[in-house]
Structures are given as structure tokens and as C-alpha cells.
């Protein structure tokens, strides 16, 4: 069995989501173990709850430190003593510095009671009701220096009902939080352990990693793409950032590395706005056999369903594995475009494929 990822939980109060994580981690097949609970309040009720479960606890009052940097350094020393792989915030009511976020990048997660990017900050249930939202929920996301701006890991939603008050809505969302957070933590832990991919939308912060894998794909699989390595390698990093921010690009992560991508683009012109394209699908060789390609395309299609009525893609006729995968996902070939690509003096035909959502 793969070693479980070691998790430190941060709380400021009782930490009801902490209890949900502790309960989930008791399962033998759960990919993470809770090795410690930390609070910035020595009197936090959650510390006693964790200790009763035999979990190590520690508390440092942030007011006792001359600076945020000093407090975070002391906090990090505790996590390192626990040999923590992941830090999970569960009602930790302190903003973390950019330096701390960078130190734990890709391993620092939080749960927020709204469907981000909607309703950031505090009083989210009041915000949702004031906005007339018909749907509300919760989001588990990676923590980055910007408040509630990190990449989404998973979300769960509830309907906003007639007569809802902030307390009623909060209670229904909390039920979903207790289910969502353990599931999302398991996703992160499995990804870091290299046993299952974590798929999420790429953001501007992922630009450098995206450029690297994009150029690798064009270099190693030139017949799979219309673009060329020669041309793409001359583009500035800012151009790749523009590609990431303008398109929906799903990225798969294993062992902390970006190992695959799949893009979706909706066509702009009015008469074809009901259509979109899947493009840029690539999985690094070392990650193949883990279901990465299927997970990437499924994620891109889930987003596409919210945008268009049908999705198109092209596959070189001699790429039998890709053709089988797309057919299994429901795509059908509606023709072959002869001499679609010219690569190193060789003409290649492509299957034209479509998946209709209606």
C-alpha cells in the first residue's frame, strides 16, 4: 500500500471540518493521515477534540510574536516536526503571507463556504441571499497569496430556497462541507502520492508549467497537433499566459507535477457559438496508464456542457488509442479530412469527430 500523505490541520475554533477530516482518515484505505492539529488560539475547543482522538496538537498565540513572519516560522517548524506533507485550513481565521503560501504551494488547501469565485471573504451566506442567488455551496481550493483566489479543487452546491435565512442556508452548506472536504483532501493526497491524477483548471500561476508541457508535447508528438514546436518555442511567456487565461485548459497533476493537459475553446462567431473544440490533449509518457487522458477530457467536457451544444475534435487516422478513447467517451466520426496535416514532408489524414450533448 502506498504511504499515506501526512496532514496538519489549522483551526482557530472548534473546527467542525477538522472533525470531518479526522473521521474520514480513520478508514484504512484513505490516502491521508492526520498527524497534528494546530491553532493560533490555545483555548480553541478543537484542540481537545483532536487530542481525544489521539492526535498531536500544538498552539501558538499569534499575538505573542513580533511579526507575522516570526509567527509563521514557528508554525512551520511545528509542521516540519510532524513531517507534514499537506496543510489543511479548517476555520483558521488568519491571513497567511505570500511567503508561507509559496513555501507550501500545491500542498496548502482551504474550504470556503461559497461557490468561488462568487462571494469571497466573510458573511458569504448573507452575500448570496443579498445577491438573489439561486444556488450556493462550498469550495475546496489551493491557498495562494490572494484571498480566496487559489485554484479550485472541488465544489458542492445547494439550492437557495424561498424563506432561507443566513443560518438556514449555512446549515445546509455545512452538511456539504463535511462531505466535500474529505473527498477533496483525498484527491490532493492521491495526486501527491502519484496514485491518481488531480485535474483542475489551469490559472495564470501555472503558465510556466504549461509552457513546458506544451513545448514537450509539440516536440515529442508533432503529428498530434496543428501547431509546431519551432513556432511555439519562440513565443514569450506572456503569450502562453494569454492562452491559459483566455481558454479553459484542464491540467492533471501527479506527484506535484503537471503531467497532462486538455483544452476547450468555444467558437466566437454568432452562427457557430453553439460549438466548441477540444484541443491540446497530451499526457507525459511517465503518467500514462493512470487514467489521466480520460480524466482530462471528462473535465473539459464537463465545462463544455455549460457553454455549448456540441464539441468537435480531430484525430490523426493512425492514432488508434486516441480514437478508441474518444469513441468510448461518445464521440463519433463524421468524416475524414485527407491531407489535413503536413509533418516533415508527410501528409496525414484526420478523423473529424463530434459529441452532441442534446
Which residues belong to the active site?
112
Q: Count Cβ neighbours within 10 Å for each residue of 257-279 and write b for 16 or more, e otherwise.
A: bbbbbbbbbbeeeeeeeebbbbb
Residues 100 and 98: their CA atoms lie apart, in Å, by: 5
Q: What DSSP letter does each residue of 284-303 carry, written as one string? A: -GGGTTSSHHHHHHHHHHHH
Per DSSP, 30 falls in state: -
| DSSP SS3 for 122 | coil
Mention every residue, 6+ apart, whose C-beta is less than 8 A from residue 10. Answer: 37, 38, 39, 40, 87, 88, 89, 90, 92
Say if residues 271 and 253 touch (Cβ distance below 8 Å).
Answer: no
Four-residue CA torsion sign, 303, 309, 315, 320: positive
Q: Are strands 5-11 and 86-89 parallel, antiparallel or unpaired?
A: parallel
| C-beta atoms surrounding 221 within 10 Å | 16
In order of 8, 40, 61, 75, 167, the CA distances from 68 in angstroms are 19, 12, 11, 10, 33
What are the Cα distances from residue 333, in Å, to 259, 280, 310, 314, 326? Answer: 28, 19, 13, 9, 10
Residue 41: how many CA atoms within 13 Å on its side-chain side? 14
Give the whole-angstrom CA distance, residue 293 versus residue 67.
46
**Count of other CB atoms within 10 angstroms of residue 33:** 16
Amino acid at each position: 500500500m502506498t504511504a499515506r500523505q501526512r496532514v496538519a490541520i489549522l483551526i482557530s475554533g472548534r473546527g467542525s471540518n477538522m472533525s470531518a477530516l479526522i473521521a474520514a482518515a480513520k478508514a484504512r484505505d484513505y490516502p491521508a493521515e492526520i498527524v497534528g492539529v494546530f491553532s493560533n488560539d490555545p483555548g480553541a475547543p478543537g484542540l481537545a477534540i483532536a487530542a481525544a482522538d489521539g492526535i498531536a496538537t500544538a498552539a501558538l498565540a499569534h499575538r505573542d510574536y513580533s511579526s507575522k513572519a516570526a509567527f509563521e516560522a514557528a508554525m512551520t517548524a511545528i509542521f516540519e516536526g510532524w513531517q507534514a506533507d499537506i496543510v489543511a485550513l479548517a476555520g483558521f481565521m488568519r491571513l497567511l503571507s505570500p511567503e508561507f503560501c509559496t513555501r507550501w504551494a500545491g500542498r496548502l488547501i482551504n474550504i470556503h463556504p461559497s461557490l468561488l469565485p462568487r462571494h469571497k471573504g466573510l458573511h458569504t451566506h448573507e452575500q448570496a441571499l443579498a445577491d438573489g442567488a439561486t444556488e450556493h455551496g462550498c469550495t475546496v481550493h489551493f491557498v495562494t497569496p490572494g484571498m480566496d483566489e487559489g485554484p479550485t479543487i472541488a465544489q458542492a452546491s445547494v439550492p437557495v430556497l424561498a424563506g432561507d435565512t443566513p443560518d438556514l442556508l449555512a446549515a445546509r452548506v455545512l452538511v456539504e462541507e463535511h462531505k466535500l472536504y474529505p473527498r477533496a483532501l483525498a484527491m490532493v493526497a492521491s495526486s501527491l502520492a502519484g496514485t491518481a491524477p488531480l485535474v483542475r483548471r489551469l490559472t495564470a500561476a501555472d503558465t510556466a508549467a504549461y509552457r513546458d508541457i506544451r513545448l514537450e508535447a509539440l516536440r515529442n508528438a508533432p503529428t498530434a497537433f496543428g501547431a509546431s514546436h519551432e513556432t511555439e518555442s519562440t513565443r514569450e511567456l506572456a503569450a502562453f499566459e494569454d492562452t491559459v487565461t483566455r481558454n479553459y485548459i484542464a491540467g492533471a497533476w501527479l506527484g506535484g507535477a503537471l503531467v497532462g493537459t486538455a483544452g476547450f475553446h468555444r467558437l466566437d462567431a454568432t452562427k457557430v457559438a453553439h460549438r466548441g473544440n477540444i484541443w491540446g490533449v497530451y499526457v507525459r509518457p511517465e503518467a500514462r496508464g493512470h487514467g489521466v487522458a480520460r480524466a482530462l477530457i471528462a473535465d473539459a467536457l464537463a465545462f463544455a456542457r455549460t457553454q455549448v451544444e456540441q464539441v468537435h475534435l480531430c484525430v490523426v487516422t493512425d492514432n488508434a488509442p486516441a480514437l478508441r478513447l474518444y469513441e468510448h467517451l461518445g464521440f463519433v466520426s463524421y468524416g475524414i479530412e485527407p491531407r489535413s496535416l503536413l509533418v516533415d514532408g508527410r501528409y496525414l489524414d484526420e478523423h473529424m469527430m463530434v459529441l452532441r450533448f442534446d
